[in-house]
Amino acid sequence: MPQQKLTALLTSAKELRASDIHLSPRREDYHCYFRMNGDFCLIETCSITEAQKLITYLKFQASMDIGEKRRPQTGQYEISLDQQRISLRLSTLLDKSGLESLVIRLFSEGDILPFYKSTPFLFNCLQMFQNAEKNSGLLLFSGKTGSGKSSSMYGLAELLYQHHARKIVTIENPVEHYHQAFLQIEINEKAGLTYQEILREVLRHDPDIIIIGEIRDSETAQMAIRAALTGHLVLSTVHAGSLKGILNRLTELGLSKSDLAEGLIGISHQRIFSLYCPLCDGKCQPYCTHLKEKRTVLYEYLENEAIWQQSARFISISHQFQKGVCYGYFKT
């Protein structure tokens, strides 16, 4: 049964803290992969019939067109697993063989990883807001897919909420981390509820902090910087390959350097690394059961005027990683 197969996959993915499930077709079967700590891990092999039934079941549940295979489709829906709500974001592509490939991105309610709550980077950001009394501006998180940008963003928002009672509104596609103290609004492009339309209405609700799930087009970028310039603290993510690449990405989206210089208060780039376990010599990662936390996140960060200095110095991720190797936290 497709439903039982889905439950089994989601249970395994939750136990292994996988961020994505991939069903990839081959000539005679399908390979099922999990994305864990940024690594692409083969989990099992299943028959074409079993995989197609699961894909059809998921497309039906997400209100996608089950008869359409030639064109890529996206959809989402929620499922309850072990009394926890999990949001599934689905994406399909047709392989040359005529079989569909499926990727499932997993979002669990309240699943902010513990190390995000305790990392010095987020507390340094909190201290920056407290010391400078900086209550407005745009703070951006970047990193590759699966690097934990959204978890970092939510970790900071939770710290800000705990230390200062503020009205926090999120605009996401979909809502990744449910928080009962936040007003969370989900994008629905089919109904005309885009980032731009929702952000216009949110600004009328007098928020202190606005979380935008992702800046991915010019209009959203313009709305985000406008909100930052009009007295709101805006947290968002952007796809960029490096810390300096964030500025290139923002200028590509049409933001002027003058607006960015006035409204941009911080940029960060991050990567997740698996921790080295001496008991298994790293060979069991990410299945190691000896470590309570199997991974951590490293950041590069610039704030305020340093963002625009060509010779600005910051502690690079590679430097932090090499230092971690020396202390035995990581292994090359």
Q: What is the pLDDT along the chain (332 residues), one digit of tens a residue?
A: 788 899 999 999 888 878 899 999 998 999 999 987 667 889 999 999 999 999 999 999 988 999 998 899 988 888 888 888 888 889 999 998 899 999 998 877 655 555 555 577 888 887 777 665 567 899 999 988 778 888 888 888 888 888 877 889 998 877 777 788 889 888 877 777 887 788 888 888 889 899 998 898 898 899 899 999 988 999 999 988 888 899 999 999 999 999 999 999 999 999 988 788 777 765 555 556 665 567 788 999 998 888 888 778 888 999 999 999 998 888 87
Q: Which domains does the chain have, with CATH numbers?
A: 2-108 (3.30.450.90), 114-327 (3.40.50.300)
- What is the structure's pLDDT at 131? 62
Q: Are strands 295-303 and 264-274 parallel, antiparallel or unpaired?
A: antiparallel
Measured CA to CA, the distance from residue 288 to residue 290 in angstroms comes to 6
Nearest Cα residue to 51 out of 26, 78, 82: 26
Per-residue exposure over 52-86, b if at least 16 CB sit within 10 Å of its own CB, e if not: bebbbbbbebbebeeeebeeebebbbeeeeeeeeb
CB atoms within 10 A of CB 104: 24
- What is the structure's pLDDT at 200? 83
- What is the structure's pLDDT at 16? 83
Measured CA to CA, the distance from residue 37 to residue 273 in angstroms comes to 7
- What is the structure's pLDDT at 113? 52
Give Cα 290 to chain centroid, integer Å. 27
Q: Are strands 137-142 and 84-94 parallel, antiparallel or unpaired?
A: unpaired
- What is the structure's pLDDT at 126? 78
- What is the structure's pLDDT at 191? 76
- What is the structure's pLDDT at 93? 94
- Tokens 């889905």 identify what position? 6
Task: Write the single-letter amino acid at 233.
Answer: L
Residue 63, CA atoms < 13 Å, CB-side half-sphere: 5
3-state secondary structure 157-199: HHHHHHHCCCCEEEEECCCCCCCCCCEEEECEHHHCECHHHHH
- What is the structure's pLDDT at 103? 94
Measured CA to CA, the distance from residue 10 to residue 20 in angstroms comes to 10
- What is the structure's pLDDT at 33? 94
- What is the structure's pLDDT at 198? 87
- What is the structure's pLDDT at 281? 65
- What is the structure's pLDDT at 114? 53
Instruction: Judge residue 175's burial from the number of C-beta atoms within 10 Å of its C-beta, 0-12 exposed, 13-18 middle, 19 or more buried.
Output: buried
Q: Are strands 168-172 and 183-186 parallel, antiparallel or unpaired?
A: parallel
